[in-house]
Chains A and B, each alone.
Chain A
């Protein structure tokens, strides 16, 4: 079985500051890892994914994440926050099995202050 823990249900940063959203996972086999963003009353949009290639993954809107197997982490970062980044962010894990269903963390709400 796999699980995902997102530390910090709410994160607040100033516009232009570094964004760091934390994600730790547990998995019995090498996982696929994803970050999704959700704006109010909308579905989930994929930001980036780790699929066992490069450990540093770049996504849309200047987000990136680094897979660290020794730390079982997949933290999401962005060098400079924009007001439009305010949203809910979800880390998810999927096993390379027949179903590939996603297991999500509880989410982190990012607030960006002007």
Chain B
């Protein structure tokens, strides 16, 4: 399978715990995006990387959130001291810069439930 993969698919945690999600993009794609989707809403942009550089972060990304892409391949998104408001689907997408429209391919998402 050469699509975008995300692990885990589901995560249930207690409030105050830390969680980490992983995204593996399509292998030749140098851009990687994180989005958050709450129930009944469209996805909202969180952050994106070009290669290993994190180039932009949304105001939605509080200090409790950190994302990395250490070798320009897979990425991790960590949420510290989780809150119930963090419950959402976290979507990862990848694309190839230089294409005329930067089509983004999405993974299946990680659904986070904070109890």
Contacts and interface: CB of A to CB of B under 8 A. Distances in A.
Q: Do A and B come together as binding partners?
A: yes
Interface residues of A, number: 26
A90 B106 CA distance: 13
B72 interface: no
A77 interface: no
Nearest to B4: A43
Query: Interface residues of B toward A: which range?
Result: 20 to 34
A106 B37 CA distance: 10
Nearest to A103: B45
Interface of A: 4, 9, 32, 36, 41-46, 49, 51, 90, 92, 94, 96, 98-107
Interface of B: 4, 31, 33, 35, 40-45, 48, 55-56, 91, 93, 95, 100-109, 111
